[in-house]
Amino acid sequence: YHPDKQKADVPAGEVEERVQRFIEIDQAWKILGNEETKKEYDLQQREDNLTKDLPLHAQVYLEDMSWNEDEQCYTLSCRCGGNYTVFKSETKDVSLVCCDTCSLVIEIL
């Protein structure tokens, strides 16, 4: 796909497609090659996969969850008897949280 390695007999339309593919690969490398942007990308992918695979139970404000000082985390009881848990260190990075015993998910607002 590299533009400098194109053969002379490739049709113009195909060259354009290959250049576009090269640009896409370059953009992906820039995102995945940087630790911060890769982390953001991974979190977004995880969130997208959770919303596709698991049912969204509720939308909850972090302030409405119970704070546990000893464990430094927020918790919320699930209807199944399990818990949703968000550790203090995760509060800025997490928007979807799975129940620890069932497949339900809450969205943190």
Q: What is the pLDDT of residue 4?
A: 67
Region of poorest pLDDT, from 22-26, 29-33, 56-60, 92-96:
92-96
Q: What is the pLDDT of residue 71?
A: 93
Residues 22/1, Cβ–Cβ less than 8 Å = yes
Region of poorest pLDDT, from 18-22, 56-60, 91-95, 104-108:
91-95
